[in-house]
Structures are given as structure tokens and as C-alpha cells.
Amino acid sequence: MTIETLTRAQLASDLGYTDVEGKPSERAIAQFMRDALGRWGLCPKRALLKHARDQLRAGDVQTDTVPRVFERLVALGECAEVGVGYEAYVAPAEPRWVASGGGLAVLLGPIAAPGETPRLASLDPTDVAVRVHVEGEEHAATLEARGARQVSLEEWLHPLAYLHHAARRSGEAARGDQLGLATFWERLVDAVSVDGLQIDPDAEVRAVVGEPGGFFGRHTAATFEGRWRDDLPDGVWCAYRRGHGDGHWLPSLISVDGEDRRALDLFNGDEWRWALLARSRAVGPEEIVRRDGEEVHVTWPLPAQLRAAMDIAGVPTGVWRWRLAADAPDLWALLR
């Protein structure tokens, strides 16, 4: 009998905790939390994140990625954050599956892939979705017998998350049939005029001013890149303004009227991304989605819900890129 000694790095690689470059595998981290939720059910958020971190530490793998992967699972609808007393808990979602075209489906919630519907292999380590082959009524019936309900991408998608931002801002419920993206932008513009604070002309601001379709860039870059500018024409722009400290930027809307500049700070970066999409619908030009054969490439940062929708409809192939089957659901046709 031969006993082989493994290093922690070898153990992590053998168990799939890392990718070929030795970076943490987001797919593996998602599965740590998915398995724990299947066993525990409702559990404290801190316990769930600690479990995932402990698995990575066993292989001497960095744990910084764990919170981001958790947010992706929430965006996919596999679980939800709930408040129990004064502590954050995580609740597993209802087991569901969504057909994504090409004989594939994505499983959501606490359901293990049956042997009759095998999981898709050879996925990118950044792909956190559980993808299985579902071909014909027999496979669908197997999932139903496991307690998983089939839903369309449209059913999964609504209500759109910008409605939550609108409801929080107004204090009233918001409905998608009454508040489209363009109207959401109009409400944000009204909020800037009513609640926006006047800012100094010398305040450091970076806004998305460049035309859609090109390199987007980062507001945190050392120099201006992509669509970001600090010389803003008159109008209302999606921007970030410098907060306290070199690395602190606040997601904002900046209203410019000659020398007068006002800022409305948004709730978080996700509301900012919805605002950018809403502005393109209301003011134009619209943000651009490119399709080349099976590959779809978006040219601006998606809100978490829309990125999750693309992760369901297609298989991630790179930054802001997905491979979609010819019969995959069309996300962009579902946005009103």
C-alpha cells in the first residue's frame, strides 16, 4: 500500500477548488453553499459563508471571492436573504428549472441533478449555474418528480429589480405594467431636481458620457478610459463622485445646467446600473448588445438580475460574453 502526500495546493486542484491558474473556482464555491443549504435549510448567513471559507482554507485557497459568489446565487434566485430577529439568514428558494435552449436547462434551488438528466461538464470555473440535459418529456417528468417546477425565463425575470429601487425611493409599491424603464429614469431625474444636493464645480466626478458600443472602461482607472469623462454637457448623467479617501466612489446621478451641478447619490451600484440602462431607453442612444453566431456580447455592466438572466439563458464564455443556443430565450425582448 502506497500513501501519497499531497500539498494543500494539490488537494485544492484535485477537488476542483481552483482553476488552471490556481484561482478560486466560483463554481466550486457556489456548490459549497448549495450543498450546505440543501442540508441545513434556513441558516444564518454568517454560518453559510464561514462554511464556504473553511472549505477553501482546507486547500489554502483565498476566500475573498465567497461574498461575491453568494450574491450571484441570490441573483439567480437559488436563495434569498431574510431577517430573523437582528440577524441575516439565508433561505433556500423553491426548486425550479428553466429551459435555456439546445436541450439544456438550469436548475435553481435545493435540487440534485438526477442521474437521468446528467449535468453539463467542462464548464468555465466562473459559471456558477447548475446545467443539465433535459431532452424530452421523460427528463422533464423526472425533474418534476424531484419537486422542481418548470418556469420560463419571463416568469423567473419578473418583477424586474429596478421596481424595488423605485418602491424604496417613493415609499409605494411599483408595478412593471405601470412603471417601465423609461419612466423609472424620469422619476430619477425628478428626484435629482427635488433631492439633489448642489456640489462644488471642483468636486471630482466621472460620468458615462461616451457613445454606447465601445470599450466601457472603469471609473476607478488612473486616467480617463472608455466612455468615462469629467467634462459633462448639460443634462443628467450616470456618474460616480469621489467620496472620502482615494478608493471611495459614490454611485450618483449628476445634473448639469451650465455652472449649476447637483448630485443624487443612489442606493448602490446595482441601482446605478439600472439607471444607466433606463437612461438609454428614455434619452438614447440605447445600449448595444452584439450577437455573432452563438455568442452574445453586452457592452455595458449589467444589473445583477440581468447578468443572472444571461447566465441562465446562455453559458458564460468570457467577460460580458455568453454562448446561446439558437432556441435560447431572448432576454432583451422581455424588457419593457
Domains of the chain: 8-92 (1.10.10.10), 96-157 (no CATH), 162-282 (no CATH)
| pLDDT at site 1 | 61
pLDDT of 119 reads: 73
CA separation (Å) from 90 to 26, 50, 86, 151?
19, 13, 13, 22
Burial class (CB in 10 A: 0-12, 13-18, 19+), 214: exposed
pLDDT at 28: 93
d(CA 206, CA 218): 10
Q: Cα dihedral sign for 4, 6, 11, 13?
A: negative
Secondary structure of residue 26 in the 3-state scheme: helix
What pLDDT, on the 0 to 100 scale, is given for residue 321?
95
Q: What pLDDT was estimated at residue 175?
A: 84
**Which of 83, 85, 81, 109 has its CA nearest to residue 95?**
109
Strand, coil or helix: 170: helix
> Containing H/E element for 333?
helix 331-334
pLDDT the model gives residue 123: 76
Report the predicted TM-score, pTM, of the whole model to 2 decimal places: 0.92
Cell of 61: 485557497
| pLDDT value at residue 31 | 93
pLDDT tens for the chain, 336 residues long, are 667 777 888 878 877 888 878 889 999 999 999 999 999 999 999 999 999 999 999 889 999 999 999 999 999 999 999 999 999 999 999 999 999 989 999 999 988 777 766 677 767 888 999 999 888 888 888 889 888 999 999 999 999 999 999 999 888 888 887 899 999 999 999 999 999 999 988 889 999 999 999 999 999 998 999 999 999 999 999 999 998 877 789 999 999 999 899 999 999 999 999 999 999 999 999 999 999 989 999 999 999 999 999 999 999 998 999 999 999 999 999 886
pLDDT at 122: 66
